[in-house]
Structure 1
Amino acid sequence: MSVTPPAAHPSVRPAPAFRGRIGRDARSGHYAVPRRYRLHLSPADPDGLRIAVTHGLLGLDRACPVTFLPAVPDCPDGGHAALRPLYDASAHRYTGPALGPVLSDDWSGRIVSTHGPDIARDLARRFAGGRVTLYPCGAESELEAVERMCAQGIEEAAQRAGAAGVGEVERTAALDTLLATLGVLEQGLGVHKYLIGDQITAADVELWVTLVQLDTVHRTHLDAAAVQRIADHPALWSYARRLAAHPAFGTHLDLDGIHRRHRARCQGLEAAGAAVQILDWATHSTPATGTRPQVNRP
C-alpha cells in the first residue's frame, strides 16, 4: 500500500542515553561479528517487543544472544538492576536509570546503544545476510510515515482520548485522529497484504506492536463505544491476527508482562472499554509460566 507521510512532530520516545551504531567493517569500531553483541530487553515494553520480533524475523538467536529483562523494572528509579553494571562501565558516574532495551558489546562489556529504532535497523542491515529485507531500499519515506502514524495518529491519540482529566472537546478530537488513522490503514490493508510491498517489513513490525498496545493497554482507558468504533476495522485487525500467528510475532507476546508493566506505570482510570477485547492475543502468546525459546543468559 502507499503511505503518505503526515506532518512531522517531535518523537514521543525519550532521548537515548547511548546511541552507537554497528558499522560495515573494523574501521567503524563497532562492526558486525557473530556473538559479539547481546540484546537486553523486555517484550512487555513496546521497544523491546519491536526488537524481539525483528530479531526473530532475522533468525539471529545464535548470532546475537538475548537476555530477557523483567516486565517491571526492579529499581526505584524505573531502571533494571541487571543493567546497572553495563551503564556504570559505559559512562563515568552515570546517574540516570538503567533502562532497556540495550545492545551491549561483550568484547568490551559496554553499551553500544539504547535507541530501539537504531538497534532494530542495525540488526537488519548488518546481520540479516540477505535472508529478510525489513528496510527496503527506496522505501525510507514510507517507513518514516508509518512510524509517525503509529506514534502520533495511534499512540498519542489513544493516550489523549483515554487520559484522566481531559476535556470532552480534546477527547473527541483525539479519538477522531485515532479513527482517521485507523481508517487510512484499513483502506490500504483491505487491498494489500502488508504495508509496503509484498512481504513483511519494519513497517509491519511497527504497526503490529502499536496495535498490541492499543488493544492491551490504551483500550482499558476508553469507553465501550470508542472501543467498538476502533474494532470496526476488519481488515486491520485481521492483519494483526495474521501476524500474531507468525512465530516471530506471537511467541514474543507476554500478555501478563504487558498488564503488569501497565499497572506499575499507569495512573489513569479504568473505563468500560476494558471489558471489550478486540483480539484474543492469548491464542498466540507465550504463557507467563512458560520458557522462551533460545534465551541466552550471561
Structure 2
Amino acid sequence: MSVSPLATATHPHRPAAFRGRIGRDARSGHYAVPHRYRLLLSTACPDGLRLAVGHAVLRLDESCPVTLLPAVPDCPDGGHTALRPLYEASAHHYTGPALAPVLCDDWSGRIVSTHAPEILRDLDRFPREGGPRLYPRGTESVIEAVERMCAEGVEEAAQRAGRADTDPAERAAALDVLLDTLGRLERRLTGEEYLVGDALTAADIELWVTLVQLDTVHRCHLDASAVHRIAGHRALWAHARRLAARPAFGRHLDLDGISRRHHGRCRGLEAAGAAVQILDWAGHAADAPDASRR
C-alpha cells in the first residue's frame, strides 16, 4: 500500500497531511512489525508529548525507536530541517513545512503518518507480550468522548478565554465552557484513580497533556481569578500530579521547551494568571521512581 498526502502542499504554510495506517498483517502494506518504524517528535509540542508518553507506557523503545527534535523548529516556516528529506521522499515536489510529529517507515524512508491520534492508536496495535493497552476493547467511544472534551472544552475554550482582542462577553462565555468541562471531568475522577475503568488508558494521557498545556501555556493569558477557579478542581490536579510522578510521564516533561515554543509562537498579551502556577510540575516529575519500574 502506498501512502500519499491527503493534500499536497502548494503553499509554503499549507502542510501535507499523511494518513497511512499500520495494520495487523502484511496485506495492510504497513503492518505492525518490530524495528520497521520510527517516531520523530518534539515533546514541547502537545501532540509530540502525547505520543512520547503513550510510547513509553507501551514500552516500545526497542521495537519502535523515537528521535527527539528541538523544542523550537529551526526553519522559518515552522518546520524541522531533519524532517525535510522524509517529506520530500514522500510527496512529489513538496514545498510546505516539514512538521512534527512523524511516524516513518525506515524500510522505505517515507512517512506513514503525521496524524497524531491515529499514530497513537496504531502504536497500541504493536505486537508485544502482555503489558497495558491504551484503547482496551469496549472503551473506544468513551475515550473518544474524553478526547473531544479536552480538545474543544478545554484547549479551544482556554484559547478563546485568553484572547485579549475578543469581546469580554465572548471571553466570559469561553471561560464558562472551560470551567463546565473541567467540572465534568472532575466528576468522572472523583473517587477514581483513572478516567475509564480501573487501568490507565489513552484518556488519562489526553487529559494529562491537556492539563500540562492549561497550566504552562493557557493560564498565562487568563486573569488570576480565572486561574484560581481552574485550580479548584482538586481531583483533576491530583490526577495530573500522580501521573507526573510516573517516569513514562514525568521524564518527557520539557518545561523549558514548552515555554520557548510558546513564546516563539504566541503573539498574545500576558495576563495576571501568568503568576499563578497551579502545579509544581518539575518537582512532581522529580519524584518519579526509577524508569525501569514504569
| TM score, norm. by length of structure 2 | 0.91
CA distance in 2, matches of 1:15, 1:211: 27
CA distance in 2, matches of 1:145, 1:247: 27
Conservation of the 8 A alpha-carbon contact between 1:252 and 1:285: no
Q: The residue matched to 2:157 in structure 1 has which SS?
A: helix
**2:160 alignment partner AA:** R
Q: The residue matched to 1:39 in structure 2 has which SS?
A: strand
Conservation of the 8 A alpha-carbon contact between 1:42 and 1:100: yes
Displacement of 1:192 in angstroms is 1.3
Q: Name the Cα RMSD after superposition.
A: 1.6
1:44–1:89 CA distance, 2 compared to 1 (3 A): same
Displacement of 1:127 in angstroms is 3.6
Mapping 1:123-138, distance limit 5 Å: 123-138=123-138
CA distance in 1, matches of 2:243, 2:254: 15
Greater relative CO, 1 or 2 (CA 8 Å, sep 6+):
1
Does residue 48 in structure 1 map to residue 48 in structure 2? yes
Q: The residue matched to 1:126 in structure 2 has which SS?
A: coil
- Which position in structure 2 is the counterpart of 1:28? 28
Q: Kindly provide the CA deviation profile for residues 51-93 of structure 1, in whole angstroms up to 9, marking residues without a partner as x.
A: 0000000111111111000001011111000000000011110
Displacement of 1:98 in angstroms is 0.3
1:127–1:15 CA distance, 2 compared to 1 (3 A): farther
- Which position in structure 1 is the counterpart of 2:167? 167
- Which position in structure 1 is the counterpart of 2:17? 17
Mapping 1:264-283, distance limit 5 Å: 264-283=264-283
Q: Kindly provide the CA deviation profile for residues 238-261 of structure 1, in whole angstroms up to 9, marking residues without a partner as x.
A: 010001111111110000000000
Q: The residue matched to 1:60 in structure 2 has which SS?
A: coil
**2:236 alignment partner AA:** L
Displacement of 1:164 in angstroms is 2.0
CA distance in 2, matches of 1:73, 1:151: 23
Q: The residue matched to 1:103 in structure 2 has which SS?
A: strand
Conservation of the 8 A alpha-carbon contact between 1:16 and 1:115: no
Displacement of 1:95 in angstroms is 1.3
Conservation of the 8 A alpha-carbon contact between 1:154 and 1:210: yes
- Which position in structure 2 is the counterpart of 1:214? 214
CA distance in 2, matches of 1:148, 1:98: 26
Mapping 1:187-206, distance limit 5 Å: 187-206=187-206
Q: The residue matched to 1:40 in structure 2 has which SS?
A: strand
- Which position in structure 2 is the counterpart of 1:122? 122
- Which position in structure 2 is the counterpart of 1:103? 103
**1:140 alignment partner AA:** E
Q: Unaligned regions of 5+ residues in structure 1, if any?
A: 1-13, 287-292
CA distance in 1, matches of 2:141, 2:102: 26
Is the deviation greater in 184-193 or in 171-180? Answer: 184-193
Displacement of 1:190 in angstroms is 1.1
Displacement of 1:126 in angstroms is 2.4
CA distance in 2, matches of 1:150, 1:31: 30
Conservation of the 8 A alpha-carbon contact between 2:47 and 2:101: yes
CA distance in 2, matches of 1:152, 1:89: 34
Q: The residue matched to 2:126 in structure 1 has which SS?
A: helix
1:148–1:16 CA distance, 2 compared to 1 (3 A): farther
> Deviation above 4 Å: which 4+ runs of structure 1?
none
CA distance in 1, matches of 2:16, 2:56: 23
Displacement of 1:49 in angstroms is 0.2
CA distance in 2, matches of 1:161, 1:64: 39
- Which position in structure 2 is the counterpart of 1:10? none
Conservation of the 8 A alpha-carbon contact between 2:87 and 2:110: yes
Displacement of 1:191 in angstroms is 2.0
Conservation of the 8 A alpha-carbon contact between 1:79 and 1:98: yes
CA distance in 2, matches of 1:126, 1:35: 11
Conservation of the 8 A alpha-carbon contact between 1:21 and 1:30: yes
CA distance in 2, matches of 1:16, 1:210: 25
Q: The residue matched to 1:111 in structure 2 has which SS?
A: strand
Conservation of the 8 A alpha-carbon contact between 1:222 and 1:271: yes
Q: Unaligned regions of 5+ residues in structure 2, if any?
A: 1-13
Does residue 67 in structure 1 map to residue 74 in structure 2? no
Does residue 37 in structure 1 map to residue 41 in structure 2? no
**2:110 alignment partner AA:** R
Displacement of 1:285 in angstroms is 4.4
Displacement of 1:187 in angstroms is 1.4
CA distance in 2, matches of 1:108, 1:222: 46
**2:50 alignment partner AA:** R
Conservation of the 8 A alpha-carbon contact between 1:255 and 1:285: no
1:165–1:97 CA distance, 2 compared to 1 (3 A): same
Displacement of 1:130 in angstroms is 3.4
Conservation of the 8 A alpha-carbon contact between 2:41 and 2:48: yes
CA distance in 2, matches of 1:190, 1:285: 23
CA distance in 2, matches of 1:175, 1:144: 23
- Which position in structure 1 is the counterpart of 2:89? 89
